[in-house]
Amino acid sequence: MIQTPVQSALTRIVYLNGDFIPQDEAKVSILDRGFLFGDSIYEVIPVYQGVPFRLPQHLARLRGGLDAIELATPYSDEDWTDIIIQLVAQNGHGNQSLYLQVTRGITGPRSHTIPTNITPTVLVMSSLLSTPMLEQVETPQTQSAICVNDFRWGHCNIKTTSLLANVMLRQQAQHAGVDEAILIRNGQLTEGAASNIFVVKDGVVRTPPEGPNLLGGITRDLLIEIMAQHYIECRQEPISQQALADADEIWVTSSTKEIAPLVSLDGSPINQGLPGPLWKTVAKHYIAFKRALCAPTHSKQDKS
């Protein structure tokens, strides 16, 4: 793997097709199918104190997405890990958000037909993790949302860069002055425009089951694991829009949001506009898990 010196904090370094280079020097062809068709898969990986969070799970989801669009992964998990660890170091360790994208590559004349024998384009870039880490639960960053019609395509479980529908749905939330759009399809909750959703009623946590209408989030899966470990009942089952409206608590989760309490839905307060008690309990368990995983006594390989 190519080695380069650590750059100054003013220069972000990216990995592009085998090279570590300054971000403003990175270029991709206009004939790349990722640019022309959104023919590509991506991942977003949070990094805490220089440690990629749940890296094996992110790489497993990446492989699943590439398999789904019949694109062979260009690297082994060991190679991906090496690239990511080097990139994190060259961008100063600390807290970062890694964006990883694999496109089908560069072709000749534009054609919908998938060509054979082309080389994938691989990009990994890093930015400062702007969303504060969840470190305490008394004054969390709360969220507000509206319900909108889920008009996306039929394979939302593939983490593709073809995200125009998600952008349009999130824009509806932006116009409404809220943080997130919660998506409803045929009267049932699917997910947020850029998040997964958990609903609490009478002490029981529920989240929609995985399937073609939603993307199974890494944070979502981790929270399900944590709740099982602490004997908190969590059911993966369909949730109606009415059940969503009647919820005692609603949580919004993603790799960068972590686990955020929703305190307003469609202009109505949830739990009197305050984070709920079960959210506080699960958030504390999440914080403890993250601190243990990123403790300096672990090796980098253990922590990934």
Q: Is residue 298 part of a domain?
A: no
Q: Is residue 5 part of a domain?
A: no
Q: Is residue 104 part of a domain?
A: yes
Q: Is residue 2 part of a domain?
A: no
Give the CA distances from residue 126 to residues 47, 88, 96, 101, 117, in Å, rounded to whole numbers and listed in that order: 10, 7, 6, 12, 29
Contact call for residues 46 and 157 (beta carbons, < 8 A): no
Strands (E), 208-284: 234-236, 249-254, 258-265, 268-269
Same domain membership, residue 217 and residue 191: yes
Q: Is residue 216 part of a domain?
A: yes
pLDDT at 272 over 80: yes
User: Tokens 């005692």 identify what position?
Assistant: 248
Given 83, 102, 128, the domain boundary residue is 128
pLDDT at 5 over 70: no
Full domain range(s) for residue 172: 143-291
Same domain membership, residue 236 and residue 188: yes
Given the residues 159, 257, 290, 303, the one annotated as active site: 159
Amino acid at residue number 29: S
Contact call for residues 270 and 247 (beta carbons, < 8 A): yes
Given 84, 100, 128, the domain boundary residue is 128
Q: Is residue 134 part of a domain?
A: no
d(CA 9, CA 159): 30
Q: Is residue 6 part of a domain?
A: no
Number of structural domains (the chain) is 2
Same domain membership, residue 274 and residue 160: yes
Q: Is residue 1 part of a domain?
A: no
pTM of the model: 0.90
Same domain membership, residue 120 and residue 29: yes
Model pLDDT for residues 147-189, shown as the tens digit of each residue: 999 999 999 999 999 999 999 999 999 999 999 999 999 999 9
Q: What is the length of the chain?
A: 304
**Residue 303 falls in the annotated catalytic set:** no
d(CA 1, CA 148): 46
